[in-house]
Structure 1
Amino acid sequence: MVMELWKQIKAKQFSPVYLLFGTESFLMRETGQLLLEQVLGDERDFNFSTYDMEESPIEAAIEDAETFPFLGEKKIVFVQNPVFLTAEKQKEKITHNLARLEAYLKEPAPYTILVFFAPYEKLDERKKVTKELKKAAAAAELKKLSEPEVKQWIAGQAKRKGFTMDPEAVEIVASLAGTNLFMLSNELDKLALYAGSGGRIDAQTAEMLIPKSLEQNIFSLTDKVVQRKTGDALRIYYDLVKQNEEPIKILALLAGQFRLIYQIKELARKGYGQQQIAGLLKVHPYRVKMAAGLAGRFSDEELTGMIGQLAEADYLMKTGGADKSLLVELFLMKLGRPS
């Protein structure tokens, strides 16, 4: 949904009112920046203002929206934290004249773009103001992107930053850098500097420049254990320790990975697809896809045994029964032996 909204904004097809809601703060910020770039360009110093509804009443933002732009054709007004759209109580008592907002929504100023940023998982659909706003606005729910959307977003961001990426390079960035959009954006900034304006990033360059995320390293570690490549598994573990990752954290992530593999194996046996499993377990589809590739290599007995060993190692770490790093090493070496 957000990708479609971005296409419209880039095509200069603007709505007088926008409603952006959801918990993906990066996409919310990027959509606001895109509107500022496409609508105002260099005129934002004169024709842009923002109001926080936890500190200011809505009528202040409406009055601004009804005021003509200064030396320009358009102006943008951001409305942050519109708590009156949710069932949440306000931290500080601010009285909002919602009738004034409802009247504005029926006839918005043609020279103003009014943007509501609602960083909430859900809006209160029972409220009249919520219904009126959703009816009048171009609305988009900003939530975690699916795997195809992440790849589309990576390619789009690269183009926006002035370089292109081969499809294989996009795949590598998505797999190595994880799904956190703030982290991905930082890595794309690095690729942009390397490529230069109009440059191109291929798969080999992407692999060279993008460090593996902790999540990806844990997957690689698990994969080496599955293949009984104890030496490779230990090398990955030692690299993580050199990066100041705590053994207890590594152990917890390994335990989470094996639990995920077990759950995926069980749900797949019951006929669930990967997208359904991702929804049921509330994890990103990409994690499910990676773990599903390992699930068939374990029997149920092996997985429950590994989870039990991890739980025992975790207990020993927390009770001070043994050296933490040594416990992880012993666990990896034990799993690396043939059954």
Structure 2
Amino acid sequence: MSVILYWGDDDFAIAKAVDAIQKSAIDPAWKSFNYEKITPDKEDATIAALDAAMTPPFGSGKRLVWLSEPSLMQQCSEQLLAELERTLPQVPDTTILLLTSKNKPDGRLKSTKTIQKYAKVQEFSLIPPWKTEEIAQRVQSVARELGLKVTPDAVQLLSESVGNNTRQLYLELEKLQLLAGGGGQQIDRAMVASLVVANTQNSLQLAAAIRQGDVGTALHLVSELLNHNEPALKIVATLVGQFRTWLWVKMLLEGGEKDDRVIATAAGLGNPKRLFFIKQELQATTADRLAASLPKLLDLEFNLKRGSEPNSTLQMHAIELCQIFKIGDRG
């Protein structure tokens, strides 16, 4: 495929994919002639990229033209659209025209539809922190890529330690690879615990502390998350996702549903076996309490988007959320 579009907010994963293209397509001896990265600050960046893509490579290997963060999938003039429609079908096999964007392409635009028609499109978005099954699957996938054997409990600990941080995942697995040596030693939980530093306090731990009405732990976790530069709105997004999942499960359980697969599907759980643990987590609470938490979380999100100071705002709402569950426990 001569035209490739990578998009998403996982910068590290995109960078690795771009590096793989460079290594497979470009002859290192001719890289200075056949590789060009065009950034959005360049005047008429898209036109420059289209023109460069039509230029044959020098020497051996292919030409790689990388157009970074183009605006044409958010807005596109008729003139630029015409250039896309004229050029993309003609990009030669000797060239790779690569487009990368952090933003999701606007599928309503003709320019986006044109690119999708001629390009190989791949999404590289960070896994939402509350989708723990997908994070565990990513850990297993990267471990296989690096040729590592990792026990299930080690996968679990790694998932909890690195969350959805792809860069840190590769870094930690590469360290574990050195620790395991070249003998194919299996990586177990003890090895992970001895080497991997959980340098992010997981937002899911904060959700659990709130659900338990544990004010002290919740306030500590808020401080730790912010100290590790976790964006406040990202913390809230994780909390909202987790409490919605819990609410769905608890509502169905209280409604008498017995089929774990039905509950898992309704709650958006990829692995029905996870319900065993969720049911244990929710034994001490009710659907009413979980439902009462969501308006508080949406109010928290609203205040943060209006510019409220993150630390004090998160702490105040954490206290209010904990009180919902502490009041219920007294009753």
Whether these two folds match at TM > 0.5 is: yes
Contact 2:3 2:118 in 1 (8 A): yes
Letter of the aligned partner of 1:295 in structure 2? Answer: L
1:182 to 131, 146, 167: 167
Identity fraction in percent: 20
The corresponding residue for 1:170 is: 155
What are the residue-to-residue correspondences of 1:193-208 with 2, within 5 Å?
193-196=178-181, 199-200=184-185, 201-208=187-194
The corresponding residue for 2:11 is: 25
2:98 to 87, 90, 115: 115
What are the residue-to-residue correspondences of 1:23-62 with 2, within 5 Å?
23-40=9-26, 42=28, 44-57=31-44, 58-62=46-50
Question: Do structure 1's residue 295 and structure 2's residue 297 form an aligned pair?
Answer: no
Letter of the aligned partner of 2:71 in structure 1? Answer: V
Letter of the aligned partner of 1:181 in structure 2? Answer: T
Q: Distance in 2 between matches of 1:41 and 1:293?
A: 57
The corresponding residue for 1:65 is: 53
Contact 1:258 1:303 in 2 (8 A): no
Contact 2:245 2:268 in 1 (8 A): no
What are the residue-to-residue correspondences of 1:258-297 with 2, within 5 Å?
259-260=243-244, 263-265=247-249, 267-269=251-253, 273-274=263-264, 276-278=266-268, 293-297=280-284
Aligned CA distance change for structure 1 residues 338 and 38 (closer, same or farther; 3 Å): farther
Per-residue CA distance 1:230-258 (angstroms, 9 max, x = gap): 9xx97x77986996978xx9xx9898699
> What is the aligned residue count?
290
The corresponding residue for 2:120 is: 138
Contact 1:158 1:164 in 2 (8 A): yes
SS in 2 for 1:115: strand
Letter of the aligned partner of 1:165 in structure 2? Answer: V
1:77 to 58, 61, 65: 65
SS in 1 for 2:121: strand
TM-score (norm 2): 0.64
Q: Distance in 2 between matches of 1:285 and 1:25?
A: 28
Contact 2:68 2:99 in 1 (8 A): yes
Displacement of 1:147: 5.0
2:89 to 106, 116, 141: 106
Q: Distance in 2 between matches of 1:304 and 1:21?
A: 35
The corresponding residue for 2:305 is: none
Letter of the aligned partner of 2:34 in structure 1? Answer: N
Displacement of 1:220: 6.3
Q: Distance in 2 between matches of 1:61 and 1:306?
A: 50
Letter of the aligned partner of 2:20 in structure 1? Answer: L
What are the residue-to-residue correspondences of 1:300-311 with 2, within 5 Å?
300=287
TM-score (norm 1): 0.63
Q: Distance in 2 between matches of 1:297 and 1:216?
A: 18
Alpha-carbon RMSD: 4.8
Name structure 1 gaps, 5 residues minimum: 1-14, 90-94, 311-317
